[in-house]
Amino acid sequence: MRAFSFSFVFFYLAIVSCDLYPQDEYEEFYVVESYLVALEELPPVFLSTTAPATSAYSFAGFSVQNADVRIDLLTGDKNSGIEQTFIYQMDSSGVYSSTTSHQVLPARTYQLRISNLPDDDPNALIRGYTAVPDTFSSKSQVPDSVIYQSVNQIQLDITLSVNAERQSYFIFTTIALNPSFQNFTPLYADFFDEDEDQLSDFTKTSSGIVNEANFETQEDGTITLKYPWLAVAFFENNQIVANIIDDNIYDFLRSQTVQLGGSTLSPGEIPNALYRLEGGIGVFGSLAADTIQTYIKRPQQ
């Protein structure tokens, strides 16, 4: 079973990107957000602009309308020709969807092209590329139920996604299917602040980026990871989703960590986030995913 599982909110770019260097005069950028998932239908494309730090931001208020949005399936890498083009239409302000049904092919390269932008330059173009990760699957024999914090830790055995150029990068997401205050695990119950937090904030918990080198490699080529209890926020039914991400998502997330204070650099030394887009900022990325499900039981008192 595959499932799109990210809970990233990339639209925060529209707020913070314009305030990274307050000494500079504000410059507007186009913001793109779209994620292709191997073997899933083509995703929507969200298109907006950044906002000055002094303006209240909403996607609808800064969305870009009536652009020409297309995604191309390429014959090879980013420097190859176009095999098939998928034309997008605007469903609502700034939200575009494909007019053609197409399942994203694993281990293939796609190109994003956005033109007809409300720009002084009629030749203005946003372009991006993503190499979709190859598919993989979980060979884990996860029991139907597991006692929370028992010595029998959840173990994920994953077939290796083929990538000749680099190791695979994973993000793991736990999705609680029965979220409630009563079902909080002790750690998250202590962490939850009724005045500041909402239950939905904890329904999906994601790991940081986990490199393939962090796994134990078995003789048959599978890789094994013991799933940390820290990633489980709720008792009862949970889905665990393993995602292999492309270079675009990887570069954005690791550079985003620096932007949000994940380094010892002073503000004037912090580099810009990595977007891998021409003519705009944001993320045009891809991933492959696989999902398992289990029931987290309360320890016996």
pLDDT for residue 5 is more than 90: no
Among 214-218, 250-254, 285-289, where is mean pLDDT lowest? 214-218
Which pLDDT score, from 0 to 100, does residue 7 have? 41
Residue 29 tokens read as 């950028």
Instruction: Look up residue 38 and give its DSSP letter.
Output: T
- What percentage of the chain carries pLDDT values higher than 70? 86
Which pLDDT score, from 0 to 100, does residue 119 have? 78
Which pLDDT score, from 0 to 100, does residue 257 have? 63
| 39 pLDDT tier (thresholds 50, 70, 90) | very high
8 A C-beta contact, residue 287 and residue 27 = no
Which pLDDT score, from 0 to 100, does residue 143 have? 82
pLDDT for residue 64 is more than 80: yes
Q: Which pairing describes strands 30-37 and 281-297: parallel, antiparallel, or unpaired?
A: parallel
Beta bridge partner(s), residue 240: 174, 292
User: Taking Cα atoms as reference points, which of 195, 144, 82 lies closest to residue 297?
Assistant: 144
Most confident of 94-108, 142-156, 253-267: 94-108
Q: Per-residue pLDDT tens for 222-264?
A: 888 888 888 899 999 999 998 999 999 999 988 876 554 544 4
Sign of CA dihedral 159, 162, 167, 170: negative
Phi and psi (nearest 5°) for 150?
-80, 170
8 A C-beta contact, residue 27 and residue 53 = no
Average pLDDT on 31-45 reads 96
- CATH tag for 10-17+29-134+273-286 (out of 2.40.30, 3.30.70, 2.60.40, 3.90.550): 2.60.40
pLDDT for residue 161 is more than 90: no
pLDDT for residue 93 is more than 90: yes
Which pLDDT score, from 0 to 100, does residue 6 have? 52
8 A C-beta contact, residue 285 and residue 232 = no
User: Taking Cα atoms as reference points, which of 296, 206, 274, 215 lies closest to residue 243?
Assistant: 206
Average pLDDT on 81-87 reads 98
Beta-carbon contacts of residue 228 (< 8 Å; ≥ 6 apart): 153
What mean pLDDT value characterizes the chain? 85
Q: Establish how many alpha carbons lie within 13 A of residue 192's alpha carbon, considering only the half-sphere containing its beta carbon.
A: 19
Q: Per-residue pLDDT tens for 105-121?
A: 999 999 999 999 987 77
Phi and psi (nearest 5°) for 38?
-55, 130
Could you state, in order of their start, the residue ranges of all structural domains in the chain?
A: 10-17+29-134+273-286, 145-243+291-297
DSSP alpha helix (H) spans, the chain = 13-16, 59-62, 186-191, 247-259
Which pLDDT score, from 0 to 100, does residue 165 have? 72
